[in-house]
Each structure stands twice: as C-alpha cells, then as structure tokens.
Amino acid sequence: MSLTLTVLTDPERGTVGHEPLPLDEKPSRCHVQLRSLPGASGIHLAFAEDERVLLRAEVDTDSAEPVTVEIERDAEGDLDVVSAGRRVFTLPPDERFAPPPPICLAGLDECLDLALVVDGTARFWYEEETVTVREAVSRPLLEDAERWGAHVEKIGELVELLAGRYSDLRVAVMAFGDQEMPDVAAPDLGPEYLLYPEPESDRSLQPRSVEETLERLRGVPATTGGDFVDAVADALAACARLRWRREARKLVLLVGDSPGHSVARPLQRGADACVREHDVDVQAEQLHRLGVELVTLYLDPPGDIGLEDVSYRKKLLDATREQYRRLASLPQTALRASGLDSAIAAAALVDHRGPIARGAALGELIQVDP
C-alpha cells in the first residue's frame, strides 16, 4: 500500500482524507503544498502506510498560510521532512500526539451561547503628582462606575450586535479573581473570590436580554489579585463545565488585563506566587475540543503614563498582551479595549464561516508535486 499523508479534504466540515504520496521507490522525494487553517499556528503532518502511522511532524505557519513541505524517503524507507525557512518538529506516531479537530461552524446559524468572563482584579492607571515626582498609580477598575461603565457599554454594543444575528441567545456572566497566596496575611492582598458568582449553578448559560446582561456586568465586584498572575485558567476550566448546546455557536469573551498560569510560556520569576491547578493553554485547547471559540478583549493601559519605563513591568505587560493574543481563536478576535470598534468585532465573528483550528492542525491540500 502507498504511503499516505492525512489532510483535510473538506475544511468546512472537517472531513479528513488520506492523500497517496509518490514515494513507493526507495529512495524518492516529493513536494506537498498545504494551507494551514484559520487560527492554526502550524500544520500537522501524519504519514501512514497500511493504515499505520509511521511519523508525525509539525511545521510552523501563520494562520491560513500556504506552505511547501519536502518529503524524502531514503533507501531504508525512513522519512525526512523539511520546509525551507521553517522549523519542523518530529513527533512519535502515537495517537495521543494527534491534533484536535477544527471547530466547524457549518449549521450553527440560529443559536448562540455566550460566556462573558471578566477580570475582577482589573486596574485603571493614572499619573499622580507628589511634591517631588509624578508616578503611575492604579485603582480597581470595577469600583469606578464611570470607567467600568464605559467598558460595559462597549461590551454591550458587541453583545447587542451578536444578538441581532442569532434568533436564540443564552448568556453567562462570571468573573475571576485569584487564589490566596501562601503565608500572606495582609488584608489588601487577600482576594475576595477565585470565581464569581458562587455557587457554580449561578454561572449557568441562560436566556438573557442585553439590558440584563449589562446589569450583571456592572454588578461584578472587584477583588485584589495579590500576585500578577490570576485565575484566568480556573475561569476557562469553569467555562468548560457550562452546558453548551450542541446546535449552538459557542463563544467565550475574556475581558481583562491579568494573565493566567502557563507552563509552556511562564511569566518571569516573581509574577506568580502560587501553585496552580490549571494551565491557560491546556484549558484553551479543552474549550476548543468542545467547539468553543475564544475571543479576548485586553484592557490595555494608557500609553502615556510611563508603565513601560521599568524593564520588569514592561516584560509583564508584553507577556500579558501576548497571552491574550495567543488565547484568541482567530487573530482578528484578539481585541484591545483602546481601539475596540464593536461593529468591526461583531462582523469579524459573524462573517467568519470557515473552520477554526488551534495549535498545529491538519492542513488543507493544495497539490502534490514529484
């Protein structure tokens, strides 16, 4: 039986096929052109013979980018995979290294399940002048009715635009704080909650009007976070436990300025004082496997108050921005509050009708050349 490469034959529906490769001779070589799916950070290659996977590899790409891969089979039958100017990682053939399937939006046109996840530790920054110096200081954003209210109005515009495109809308509103830091007794460093509201049943998806949704957002209490890393991953894990409808399009809108815990891409030393139960990247993939898309709205601080003057602080801000970009299912749904246009954001969500991948995913076949 010929050597085959697993590819997507119908990306809109996630249909998988096995493309024969002209590598029966030993040695031999061929070139395969593939296109990565929207949202993907790479293409996953699975080579099989007699229905047995021999080798897996991953090629770095950008979202929806075409790439050419050269496959060489030596005299012993071993495979070598290269792609000019790109990193290629080889993986064991085990099924546990197979990529998650793409989210397919075909047929999800009537119902929308939307979870709004708010950072209860979010701060707003301003400059305060003393006798000798001007310095950047912050206060809890959710305690400032005017400033938080302005964000709520923008979020409300987005929700209203989405509600106008779907005949059946359910919404959940929740917030994350952080877990208590070990050996810290200072009251101002003790978080009020890990997740809000409690009990968990109060965070369920329910039919709600836009007005009721905004009222719930305005009523989310602020909390301290203690250290810089907060309970983003715990909130995403809670979203995975929501009762998402199979027939609905499923969205999580993450709103905040705090990063979550990541093993693969940790923040610098000193940013996280706790041992964590959940990881943001693991939880994002779990949501993806459930067919849930992630939209992020980063509450970026003003650019004119000197927050990036200190190297340590700048690294933390850069890492947070990168994490919010990485968690978003599509590049165009990684939003920033300072430049948010609700109409453009809603159009980016509603107008995208194709598949959505996460991480390295199977590629769409363009052609095979000898």
Q: What does the pLDDT look like over 101-147, one tens digit per residue?
A: 999 998 899 999 999 999 999 988 776 665 565 666 778 899 999 99
The larger pLDDT score, comparing residue 130 to residue 100, is at 100
- Those residues whose C-beta lies under 8 Å from the C-beta of residue 289, and which sit 6 or more positions away, are 100, 101
pLDDT value of residue 260: 95
Domains 4-103+358-369 and 111-351 share a fold: no
Give me the residue label for tokens 């159009």: 347
Please determine, looking at this structure, whether the domain spanning 4-103+358-369 carries the CATH number 2.60.120: yes
Give the burial string for 254-275 (b: 16+ CB within 10 Å, else e): bbbbbbbbbeeeebeeebbbbe
Residue 69, CA distances (Å) to 18, 188, 345 in order: 16, 55, 34
Q: What does the pLDDT look like over 227-272, one tens digit per residue?
A: 789 999 999 999 999 999 999 999 999 999 999 999 999 988 878 8
> How many whole angstroms separate alpha carbon 302 and alpha carbon 285?
31
Q: What does the pLDDT look like over 20-49, one tens digit per residue?
A: 999 988 899 999 999 999 999 999 999 999
Q: What does the pLDDT look like over 159-193, one tens digit per residue?
A: 999 999 999 999 999 999 998 877 666 666 678 89
Q: What CATH class has 111-351?
A: alpha beta
Q: What percent of the chain has pLDDT over 90?
A: 74
> How many whole angstroms separate alpha carbon 150 and alpha carbon 239?
25
- Those residues whose C-beta lies under 8 Å from the C-beta of residue 67, and which sit 6 or more positions away, are 33, 34, 35, 36, 43, 59, 61, 83, 86, 363
User: Is 308 a residue whose pLDDT tops 60?
Assistant: no
pLDDT value of residue 134: 60
- Those residues whose C-beta lies under 8 Å from the C-beta of residue 281, and which sit 6 or more positions away, are 262, 263, 264, 265, 326, 327
User: Is-cis flag, bond preceding 100, omega within 30?
Assistant: no
- Amino acid at position 193, single letter: Y
User: Is 304 a residue whose pLDDT tops 70?
Assistant: no
Contact, 188 vs 126, CB < 8 A?
no
Confidence of residue 14 (pLDDT cuts 50, 70, 90): confident
Listed by start position, the domains of the chain span 4-103+358-369, 111-351
Tokens coding 97 = 């290294």
With 0-12 CB in 10 A as exposed, 13-18 as middle and 19+ as buried, what is 347? middle
Q: What integer is the mean pLDDT of 57-74?
A: 94
Q: What integer is the mean pLDDT of 52-74?
A: 94
Spell out where the chain has E strands.
4-10, 15-20, 28-35, 40-49, 52-60, 66-73, 79-82, 88-91, 111-119, 123-129, 134-140, 168-176, 195-196, 248-256, 292-298, 334-336, 359-362, 364-369
